[in-house]
Structure 1
Amino acid sequence: KDAQAIAKDMYPGWNLGNTLEATGSGLDAETSWQPTLTTQQIIDAVKAAGFKSVRIPCSWDIHSDSNGEIDAQWMARVKQVVNYCINDGIYVVLNDHWDNGWIEVLGFSKSSSSYQAVDEATITSKITRLKDLWTQIANEFKDYDEHLLFAGLNEPFQEYSLFSGHHEELTPILCRYNQAFVEAVRATGGNNAQRTLVVQGPSTNINSSVNYMTADKLPETAGRLMVEVHYYDPGQFCGTFDASGDNAFYFWGAANHSTDHNATYGEEAYMLSQFGLLKTAYTSLGYPVIIGEYAALQRTISGDQNKHNASVKYFYQCVNEYATNNGIIAFAWDTNDTNGLNSEGGSSTIIDRANSAVVGNNAMEGVKAGVAAGKWPFLEHHHHHH
């Protein structure tokens, strides 16, 4: 099945966050950022909650030897986790995540502490390495069917302090990396010749993507390709900034404005307009879009807790409803930080992995309500033979 045929069966999505992408040595990396080893039972709970896709952020370069070969034990463990999902009939998006910034950062700046434009030699060497990694991964998973998707990167040149203001000039380099990823996977043959692949927009930022990475700059024609962006607006509600204390927004949505620290931008109308841009630029042209990550922080606050809970539910509802209506698949970011739910700092955790149970109930109810309210806009074309 091609990208358009599977897209309508993929929402809603969920992230196995802070897990296989975490830094750390060997198999211990899986529990260096969160405490729970992934099991079939956890994925069963994700499915039971209603999720139809799992995004698996993953590191590879840090698990490679001096010859660039991915550690066999690591590869086997990733495969095991992928299989938990495949066993449940769930779609999987497997990526090369931040991975110590070997390409996400250092493919776009020669320094990770200050912006220094990369030269052609750097770009060429990054392309070689990207192709090498994806050739190894693609060969390992060659026989998997369309339930497995590959995503080349995660958040290319996303670090604000380094790359703000450089999105346009860096997009042509990103397009070369996207092209290299696609070429490497396709060259391995088998099911990889037709597998749906996911390429990331500049900084996974919606405005930069639709402005600088238009459909004519994508590495393949429509049918086997999806585009990825992320959505964490407004940051003080969604948690990409320090979201505790006086810098936080505790309430979201026009109906929920009441006290101090309201969201002052990025509410329903903004989200509708952003997702509409994605429909115009991509999904209406046959390129489904994934919002590979989105979240709001569920917090325990001293103010109006009920109104905060309603805001969290409503945010997740709007993301999923508006995404569905625009042919977009949204993947909730989940870090398995259950303690954070009881703090003012908050947490985007939906599934308590230790107990294989839903614990972020407001978020989960919002996801379900949004999916129920949304209507997928693209019908399959049935060819009638008389």
Structure 2
Amino acid sequence: MFGIGKFGIAVGALSLASTAAFALPKATEIYPKMGLGYNIGNTMEVPGNQGGPTGWHNPFPDAAYVKAIKDAGFNTVRIPCAWNSHASNGTINAGWLDSVKTVVDLVINNGMYAILNSHWDGGWLEDEVFSGGHIDRNGNQATTDSSKVRALQEGYWKQIADYFKTYDEHLIFASANEPGVNDHRGGSAANGYTDNGQLAFNKDRMTILKRLHEACLRAVRTSGGNNATRIVVVQAPRTEIDKVPLLSAQYPTDPAGDGYTMAEVHYYPYQYSLMTADEDWGTQFYYYFDLPSTTDKTHNMGWNVYSKSIDDQALGTPKQIAKAFGELKTMFCDKGIPVVIGEMGAVKRLDALSGANLKLHLEGRAAWYGEVAKVAKANGIVPCVWDTGDEGDGNMTIIRRQVNKFGGNVGDITDFETLNAMREAYSLAALPGNSIDSLVNQNPDIPETEEGKGVQLTYQTVTSDSSEVGTLRINLASGKNNLSKYVGIEIRMKGSVETAGGCTGESDGCGEYGWASMDLFMMTGSSWAWFDASVLEQADQQLDATKFQTFQIKWTDFRTEPTDLNLVNAIGLNLYGTQVTGTITFDYIKGIKADGSTEIIDDFDKKPQVDGIATAKIVSVSGTSAIKPAAVAATSKMFVNVQYGSVMAQFNAAATAPAKAMLLNSIGQVIAQQNFTASKGMNTVELSSDYRGPAVLMVKQGSQRYMQKVILK
């Protein structure tokens, strides 16, 4: 660690800041020292209105965590950061600047370089690389005044630069994140959709982006101190490698002259890194090119669905990495502009694979990270791995943060093989440890049985005073997503879910007991419209742990009638609740035809995607013949009428007894409540609230509970 002297000058082998301005080293001098890079993702960039740094389940970075990054072999830390949602009338909150400084100082105190950027933050800049009329990310007509966006960009960076102007070259600024990445998809080429179905990013839009970068550079250079020559990173459109010629042709002009900027791209070869469902145009790539599967060829990297063969120059292959990074070197590095891969990574496919296939996938994934790091280093490029802290399916995490959810200690290595592959590329010794075998042991091959397979989900909420969600999701590929031939969905399951007390202080805004319910949801059409309907209104009362039951949901059960069932992107089940523990085994999800017959949509031979408080494993199940659907007790039904400022509920009580009605907001806080005596038979209760948005209405009478999600007007 390094200290600050009495006159504000850093003491020790490394200077945190200096009190006098001087010409900082050029980018070409800094690059060789930056080494491997690491992102503290899903933390400082969480918008202020979504909870700030801890809003997406990560703890605020502390000294132990940042030291673990250094000890793992990283020498650069990228700090994605929100600014606009922490500002009022264009002025950044002083407390937020102090919070960001805490993280920056932790990084620099450990002898690393800090790249402080301006991230998405609601899209105030990222989604507004337009001038005049355009289609916004939701497909609606919109108008952008680019001069106002530039003014915000310049104003924020002037404040940031002023605050950090005494810091030395170990602090680097980055103008943006992925400008234009959320451009709308799905239109025709005639209407400007030429980038793989996305709105085109052309020379005119690059001119707008160039001006946004120059607004940042102008603000930094005029702020004084060491900012006159501080390194500033500028981003290619969408940070996509195939868009770098636009950045090269219209590279921003820096008032400091040449040599004090770097260029940024991101590297997520889609089919290998992010794709979660096979499509008619291509499959997911589970296995790295150098470690292919002999039994699952269609999911090998480079598989071409049209030629039924492997393309050795597909995205993510060694040849494509070498070609793309070589072009970056020619366009930028050879001209004195080092390149930063601000984000790179590939998801761990823990739900899709098990046993030997999972092992092959994880081994290949580690080799892929090593190849990217090796080729980046050879071409003068700084690779920064993306890390969000989550350790479930689809994660890219290397260093543990969420110990309250996953156990262990902050700073534990969760992926030794991937880390060691990158360390080898930088001539660093391997760290002792094994991560792949433990994951494979947790996800073993399940032998085929006469009974068949199912998926077992275990639910465990983390907090006791807020609502949490466990999701089972099935992404439907093209050709399999036409549900218009069905009139509903049938789900077969068994299990038990328990809700406990423990949140008893209603004065502090939490309910007096836990609760749980389950909804079927569906996302349809090009706009991914959301529809849902209750499957279990009271999950802890309707499930049977000893035998399977089938539950049917007809389209008429949905609050809004789906109108585009031939374009269903995903279906799934959400378990909502507070203070919930339990396990549910799902045998299948079927479509119900008009004649009453059913056919399988998913029988869970492999794990579906799960998120939130749910974890999954494949299990054997028996007795797959259909049984009579379980009836929902009439007394569990509650009829709700929502009016502006109030909600009225009718329910059937079994006896005359005291009852309580409550409204809970989306984080489980009680926003309205009423104690009353319910009479045997039909009862009506009304609650008033000025709250607007999603909520849960609950009525409790003795051991009987009634619950329904509502949208308050």
| Higher Rg of the two aligned structures | 2
Distance in 1 of aligned mates of 2:380 and 2:142: 36
Q: Does 1:328 align with 2:378?
A: no
1:88 corresponds in structure 2 to 110
Distance 1:23 1:249, change over 3 A: same
**Cα displacement (A) at 1:237:** 2.0
Distance in 1 of aligned mates of 2:328 and 2:342: 14
Q: Secondary structure at the match of 1:150?
A: strand
Q: Secondary structure at the match of 1:21?
A: coil
1:140 corresponds in structure 2 to 163
Which residue of 313, 323, 328 maps to 1:273? 323
Q: Secondary structure at the match of 2:46?
A: coil
Alignment of 1:341-380 (within 5 A): 343=393, 346-353=394-401, 354=403, 355=409, 356-372=411-427
Alignment of 1:50-69 (within 5 A): 50-65=73-88, 67-69=89-91
Q: Does 1:224 align with 2:224?
A: no
**Unaligned residue ranges in structure 1 (runs of 5+):** 374-386
Structure 1 residues 341-382: Cα deviation after superposition (integer angstroms, max 9, x where no partner): xx3xx2100110242111122221121122239xxxxxxxxx
2:340 corresponds in structure 1 to 290
| Identity among equivalent pairs (%) | 36
Q: Does 1:308 align with 2:361?
A: yes
**Cα displacement (A) at 1:256:** 2.7
Q: Does 1:44 align with 2:67?
A: yes
Which residue of 3, 12, 15 maps to 2:39? 15
Structure 1 residues 234-269: Cα deviation after superposition (integer angstroms, max 9, x where no partner): x13212x43699953221123434324112222110
Distance 1:243 1:35, change over 3 A: farther
**Cα displacement (A) at 1:103:** 0.9
Distance in 2 of aligned mates of 1:165 and 1:25: 28
Check whether the contact 1:253–1:314 (CA below 8 A) recurs between aligned residues.
Answer: no
Structure 1 residues 307-359: Cα deviation after superposition (integer angstroms, max 9, x where no partner): 11221111110110000011000000000002x1xx3xx21001102421111
Distance in 1 of aligned mates of 2:161 and 2:277: 38
Which residue of 241, 248, 254 maps to 2:290? 254
2:212 corresponds in structure 1 to 177
**Cα displacement (A) at 1:29:** 1.1
**Cα displacement (A) at 1:139:** 0.6
Q: Secondary structure at the match of 2:262?
A: strand
Structure 1 residues 287-324: Cα deviation after superposition (integer angstroms, max 9, x where no partner): 00000000011233225232112211111101100000
Check whether the contact 1:236–1:243 (CA below 8 A) recurs between aligned residues.
Answer: no
Distance in 2 of aligned mates of 1:25 and 1:111: 21
Distance 1:111 1:172, change over 3 A: same
Check whether the contact 2:210–2:250 (CA below 8 A) recurs between aligned residues.
Answer: no
Check whether the contact 1:186–1:194 (CA below 8 A) recurs between aligned residues.
Answer: yes
Structure 1 residues 177-234: Cα deviation after superposition (integer angstroms, max 9, x where no partner): 111110111010110001000000111111211x21216633234310000000001x
Alignment of 1:158-173 (within 5 A): 158-159=181-182, 161-162=184-185, 164-168=198-202, 169-173=204-208
Check whether the contact 2:82–2:120 (CA below 8 A) recurs between aligned residues.
Answer: yes
Distance in 2 of aligned mates of 1:216 and 1:110: 24
**Unaligned residue ranges in structure 2 (runs of 5+):** 1-24, 186-194, 303-313, 404-408, 429-713
Structure 1 residues 108-132: Cα deviation after superposition (integer angstroms, max 9, x where no partner): 356332376856xx11111111000
TM-score by length of 1: 0.88
Distance in 2 of aligned mates of 1:252 and 1:320: 15
Aligned residues: 361
CA RMSD across the alignment: 2.1
Which residue of 267, 276, 287 maps to 1:242? 276
Distance in 2 of aligned mates of 1:216 and 1:269: 28
Distance in 1 of aligned mates of 2:59 and 2:348: 20
Distance in 2 of aligned mates of 1:247 and 1:103: 33
Which residue of 127, 136, 161 maps to 1:111? 136
Check whether the contact 1:316–1:370 (CA below 8 A) recurs between aligned residues.
Answer: no
Check whether the contact 2:293–2:360 (CA below 8 A) recurs between aligned residues.
Answer: no
Determine which structure has the larger strand proportion and give its number.
2
Distance in 2 of aligned mates of 1:219 and 1:269: 33
In the alignment, residue 110 of structure 2 is paired with which amino acid?
A: D
Q: Does 1:4 align with 2:32?
A: no
**Cα displacement (A) at 1:22:** 1.0
Distance in 1 of aligned mates of 2:140 and 2:261: 31
In the alignment, residue 99 of structure 2 is paired with which amino acid?
A: R
Distance in 1 of aligned mates of 2:174 and 2:104: 14
Which residue of 240, 247, 263 maps to 1:205? 240
Q: Does 1:125 align with 2:148?
A: yes
Distance in 2 of aligned mates of 1:252 and 1:147: 35
Distance in 2 of aligned mates of 1:129 and 1:179: 13
Distance in 1 of aligned mates of 2:57 and 2:29: 35
2:440 corresponds in structure 1 to none
| Higher RCO (CA < 8 A, seq sep 6+) | 1
Distance in 2 of aligned mates of 1:257 and 1:2: 46
Determine which structure has the larger helix proportion and give its number.
1
